[in-house]
Amino acid sequence: MLSRATVNFRLPDDKGLLETMGIYQAGLQHCIDVAWDKRIRNNVKLHPFVYRHLRESGLPAQLSVACIKQACGMIKRAKSKPVVSNRSMRFNPPRSFSYKRGVLSLSTIAGRKKFNVPFPHYASEYSDWEINESLVWIDRYDRIFFGMCLSKDIPVDIRSAQHKRILGIDVGIKHLAVTSDGKFYGSVVPKMVRHRRLVSALQSKGTKSAKRHLKRLSGRWTRFIRSENHRISREIVDSLKEGNIVSMEDLNGIRSDKGRRFNRMLHSWAFRQLQNFVEYKALRAGCPIVYVAPSYTSKSCRRCGEIGTRNQGFFKCGNCGYSCNSDLNAAFNIKLRVKPLALALGLDVNEPIVATDDASFRVSEHCESPDVSYKPTPFMGG
């Protein structure tokens, strides 16, 4: 599977590069206007209508092509006509930029500009990765960065070996992540509520001091979310071995109708970002990823498959009497939904649900077992 990474380089202020970006942004808006008016969404079809204008404005040929492609990409995702606000510019290797021996060469309206930017030490593992389409961008402090996008095809095949373990992962609000081996990763609800109250209070106050405080807070929550997601995903992946299967819910298009307060909390945390971090770290560790349907994962009994009741974060099955923390029950079900696929591929997945005594102790704190004479039936949910 294809794994991607981005390495950012800080570039010095350069007049030619800034002028090129200004022309590029104006050309990007022109392409958007033409594509919107003519209802064109394909960059090949848009090309004859805007290319001459871009070239006459001074943009090099490859930057003109990148500008057209970027405009069509923005149009496809938009419900109303986009207005260019972020300061960024696309480059395609090897024609509009190249990077060799610590020297970055960029195409501008004044010809090629070369910058000495050694490859950072923290990204040394990416030094042999393929360089893809990249981006020059300016942040709110007017600093110029070059984001080099890299990719590498990592051979991870779910059928390549007899896998010994499937790990189901449930993401949520009360617990950011719960795994099927009984590990709970902490909640940020108190911090989320405190942050929201502080922002609301400062916004309602409206004084200069409050606005300065809001500016300092700007981006802090996003950075905190990203840091926590990286920490949790690293802990999860470090517990895996090569060949283990990771199962998660497919959360694309997930919505909630449980009220404004719950919706605010739901959309204040980047659950999909956490899944993305787990995904790319697991792939690099040689662990395939499987996404399953999210429906009724926390309400279905992991033992008999019947729909039970969930109250205050706790699940109880009215059919067999099994009870468990609802998030842990969801992690079990996410794991079980992969087993039919694994068995169909001939993989060995007959390991116990709890791998160690330590994990068994943690699970016992959140589960209440039914009658020991009860024999669970296979769960084949999809």
Tell me the per-residue pLDDT of 204-218, one tens digit each, with 9 for 90 and over: 988 999 988 888 887
> What CA–CA distances, in Å, run from 186 to 165, 230, 309, 359?
24, 13, 24, 16
How much is the pTM?
0.72
Beta bridge partners of 302: none
User: Crossing angle, helix 208-217 and helix 220-238, to 10 degrees?
Assistant: 20
Q: Name which of 302, 283, 69 is nearest 180 in CA terms.
A: 302
Going by their DSSP bridges, the two strands 245-249 and 166-171 should be labelled as parallel
Q: Name which of 285, 300, 275 is nearest 377 in CA terms.
A: 300
User: What is the model's pLDDT at position 354?
Assistant: 37
At 41, which amino acid appears? R
State the CB neighbour count (10 A cutoff) for residue 296: 13
User: What is the model's pLDDT at position 4?
Assistant: 84
If you search the block for the tokens 């909630």, which residue do you land on? 256
> What CA–CA distances, in Å, run from 64 to 56, 72, 95, 168?
10, 13, 12, 46
Structure token pair of residue 353:
């649900």
* Cβ 284 vs Cβ 3: under 8 Å: yes
* Cβ 6 vs Cβ 146: under 8 Å: no
* Cβ 175 vs Cβ 327: under 8 Å: yes
User: What is the model's pLDDT at position 355?
Assistant: 34
User: What is the model's pLDDT at position 48?
Assistant: 93
Q: Can you tell me the distance from the alpha carbon of 150 to that of 147, in angstroms, rounded to the nearest whole number?
A: 10
User: What is the model's pLDDT at position 348?
Assistant: 54
Q: Can you tell me the distance from the alpha carbon of 80 to that of 305, in angstroms, rounded to the nearest whole number?
A: 45
The structural domains of the chain, ordered by start, are 2-153 (no CATH), 166-187+221-368 (3.30.420)
User: What is the model's pLDDT at position 54?
Assistant: 93
Return phi, psi of residue 170, to 5°. -110, 130
The residues of the chain scoring below 50 in pLDDT are: 351-382
Q: Is the peptide bond preceding residue 82 cis, with omega within 30 degrees of 0? A: no
Using only the alpha carbons of the chain, give its radius of gyration.
Answer: 25
Structure token pair of residue 214:
């809001």
At 118, which amino acid appears? P
Going by their DSSP bridges, the two strands 289-292 and 309-311 should be labelled as unpaired
Structure token pair of residue 229:
């997601």
